A and B are shown apart, each in its own frame.
Chain A
Amino acid sequence: MAHTGISNKSPFRTATLWLIWGWLLIFALLPNILVIAVSFLTRDSTAFISLPISIDSYVRMIDPLYFDVFVHSLWMAGITTIICLLLGYPFAWFVSRMSKRWQPLLMLMLILPFWTNSLVRTYALKLLFANNGLINKSLLAIGIIDAPIDILYTQGAVIAGLTYLLFPFMVLPLYAVFSDLRNDMLLASQDLGASKPQTFWHVVLPLTTPGIISGVLLVLLPAMGMFYVADILGGSRNLLVGNIIKNQFLDARDWPFGAAASVLLTLAMAVLLLAYRASSRRIGKTDFSEVA
């Protein structure tokens, strides 16, 4: 389409393109290639990594010792994602049906916590979850329990923490698709004789699938990486993939293994991105950025 304004061959254009491409190549593309390369090398106690090339790091992930940790981590991240979806789907729907006057305020209140320090908010949960914390005290006071229950340092605490931090990221894309969901489509479906469950299943759900997938993308991947949540709320037995990668890189100094775990995370992201693209194509949208 026609472009008005600044001419297409200006030095400004050339300089800008050099700058951004240079930055992305050096600080995004090249580092990732390095990590992939490292994952195929061998651990070395002095120089971190050395030859020969091997797939040993990938094979070791199936080793029961690590495999169980991976599965447990995936499980916690997966449950977090499901809880966020189950809570966030009706939440986004309700907000999108509220009066136009209230919607901006409601969404602002949702994203405000996103602007605040996530480490501080994780720590705040610790205040609630501790043995003499607010939850235990309240439960004791109303007599539901006789002795404090262990909340802190359980996988439940990690899942609660991840859900708390990542919930807005599930709601944002869902809210975007619900805002685009036009009432006349639902009316048409009902006029054609569909029941409410049928309307939901055949109209609402397919039209909101891109939102669901991008929400899953925005929750599942960070949920696997946020090692500080597991550190603060989960104790030593509830590790995330992020903890494994961090331990391998900063403590155990087994770079190839940490890199291989990171490559798997990247592959998971690629699969989810492709699923998102396919689902938005299906409903006639190729806009990658509805997510943001």
Chain B
Amino acid sequence: MSDSSLNGSTNNKSPKNKNPIRFGNIVAKGYLVLIYTLLYLPIIVLVVMSFNKSKIGYNWGGFSLKWYESLFNNQAMLDAFWHSIVLGLVAATVSTAIGTLTALALHRYDFRGKGLLNGLLFVLMMSPEIVLAISLLALFLLIGLQLGFVSLLLAHITFCLPFVVITVFARLSSLDERLMEAARDLGASESIMVRTVLIPVIFPAVMAGWLLAFTLSLDDVVVSTFVTGPSYEILPLRIYSMVRVGLKPEVNAIGTILLVASLILAVISQLLLRRR
């Protein structure tokens, strides 16, 4: 198949000789340290403040878990949390199923409109979320769909799809065709080849795609703002309505929980993708 398709290549061919353009090593390292500090400082401050006893201001009033406590007593927050989890699980699973099949089709078949399909997925991934958001709102109102769980689900599957496709496709591109040929030469039937070669090879990428989709769904504010209905409030929108009006210590606590959860998911996903 041609190279002009989805392909997440980061191959590095540079030989190990000296760099012709050299940076003062100290300057380069100092710069990297500075940027990473800026990236992580706000997150660290948020986590620290979530354990702060004092309510107003930013003075350290001692260690306390009371914001976590008040969070777990906040029924609306808990409901929104479970709504988000359910939505994320279903959206990630459906988009991973469709996305994986699509990646397989793009990798293994030649069909008319393949370039167009590639292009459409790419444009969908690049589109500003807000454009997708209002277009889906227009669609849902046109077909008379009640805004709520179903509209959120359809929207989340749609914006997760291209990310799953590209994750699985990148893995398929690195699949050695000779493996499949060897399996066939050894007399494996198609179903055995799929089971013993194809699935083990793409499984880590499928899992990584699922995790990415789940995180994207849990994270989304822009699209959800438009396609949500009063019957199904989700966590990001609940948080959004809280932080718009001012500083709420509970937000530090729920923010910390979300940060830790998504960091764990991210690390798992990276480990899955690295094991080649």
Contact = CB atoms under 8 A, between A and B. Distances in A.
Nearest to B105: A16
B110 A292 contact: no
A87 B35 contact: yes
Contact of B31 (A94, A181, A228, A287): A94
Contact of B118 (A180, A221, A246, A288): A288
Q: Shortest 7 CB-CB distances between A and B: which pairs?
A: A31-B135, A115-B266, A120-B255, A225-B130, A124-B42, A124-B46, A225-B128
B75 interface: no
B249 to A, nearest CB: 10
B14 A5 contact: no
B89 to A, nearest CB: 17
A108 to B, nearest CB: 6
8 contacts: A3-B108, A3-B109, A118-B219, A120-B239, A225-B129, A249-B226, A269-B126, A287-B7
Interface in B68-124: 98, 101-102, 104-105, 108-111, 113, 117-124
A71 interface: no
A289 B15 contact: no
B21 A126 contact: no
Nearest to A27: B158
B221 A113 contact: no
B202 interface: no
Given A34-B138, A91-B32, A1 B1 contact: yes
A69 interface: no
Contact of B128 (A16, A133, A221, A286): A221
Interface residues of B, number: 113
A117 interface: yes
B6 A112 contact: no
Main secondary structure on chain B at its contact with chain A?
Answer: helix
Contacts of B57: 132
B46 A127 contact: yes
A127 B45 contact: yes
Contact of A176 (B10, B126, B154, B270): B10
A201 interface: no
Interface string A239-269: 0011001100110000100110010011001
A27 to B, nearest CB: 4
Contact of A23 (B36, B98, B113, B219): B98
A225 B126 contact: no
A119 interface: yes
B7 A289 contact: yes
B139 A133 contact: no
B231 interface: no
Interface string A105-119: 010111111011111
Contact of B14 (A20, A110, A183, A232): A183
A117 B219 CA distance: 5
Contact of B20 (A186, A249, A291): A186
